[in-house]
Amino acid sequence: MRIPPAAPGSGERRLGPPLRKPIGKGTWLAVMLALLGIWIVAKPTDPHKKLAARIEAATALAAECKLDDARAALVTLKASKASASELKPLQDAIFGAAATCEKKRLRVKAWNDARPQIDDAVRAGQLDKAAARLAAFRKKWGDDADTRERDERIDGQRVIQLLDEAQACLNRSDRVCLESKLLAAEKLKRPEAEARIRTLRDALSRLLEATLLGQPSAQESGQGGAAAGNAAALKAAAPARVEAPRSTLLTTSPAVAQNAQTARRFLAEAERDMGQNNYKAALDKADKCLALAETGNRDCQALRQKAERLQRELQRCLASGADWVDDHCQ
């Protein structure tokens, strides 16, 4: 058998795996950067910084009134061999928050008890009772968003109630009542009631003008008709007698007409003082009104008597240490 000759230049065949290319510098650089990143991420943290972070987290729990969690964290930190000086800030935070958190807890409990009573009183229209209950709570526990919201709700219902009462005063031509209700409603400064207050103010001005100029209202006219019939019958039965002419507020004399206008102004100012609980000033203006109007003018006299009575009640109320609200001692 004839063996063919080897190919020229082939040389001796090498046994084993083929040779690989050497690793380049870029590959080594990438590996080193990767190892550096792993070391930075996974390197052991400073134990003091780790302990400080745990103490800070536990202190935040105490500030949030999570005292049980804060105390549990304190026990864990003590078991981890933390020093007393390191744990002292946490202990102080827990101790300092205990009283504050207890007060917050008691306030929440008191509000949960007071809120249904306030809401029930508002729904029943007992606004004075609701306001007194809310004021007592705020005086003891302070103010927050819930109490301010209830206060706004009470004021909103109160202005509606006051304007309804003012309308009733207008229907019976009671100027003093109407003025006091309007002043009380204006003090609440409710934008939604401004239009209705202006309407009632205009009606009050017309009523005041009619009263001081001697023009009877519709109600008084009806009562006057019945009284006139009775007076005519009595006059026919009684013997005739001569009476001296009586002066009235409405007159053609310029001086008396000017006095009537001044009396009207004093009466309006006195009613305004009454609404502001300034009863002494109201008394003074009522006296001036009486001096200018005809003797025994019933509007000036009635306002003076009311101001005198309220001034006495106010002094007794303040002497007893109570509060004076809306012409009442509370």
Tens-place pLDDT, residues 187-229: 888 999 999 999 998 998 888 887 766 544 444 444 444 444 4
Using one digit for the tens of pLDDT, what is the confidence trace for 281-324?
888 888 888 777 654 477 888 888 888 888 888 888 877 777 77
Joined tokens for residue 263: 């009396």
Residue type, 301: Q
Query: pTM score, two decimals?
Result: 0.47
Of 267, 284, 279, the residue nearest 312 (C-alpha)? 279
Rounded to an integer, what is the distance from CA 289 to the centroid of its chain?
39
Q: Which of 37-51, 90-104, 145-159, 212-226 has the lowest mean pLDDT?
A: 212-226
pLDDT at residue 93 is higher than 50: yes
Per the CB < 8 A criterion, the answer to whether 274 and 281 are in contact is no
Using one digit for the tens of pLDDT, what is the confidence trace for 12-55?
555 556 666 677 777 878 888 888 788 777 666 666 778 888 88
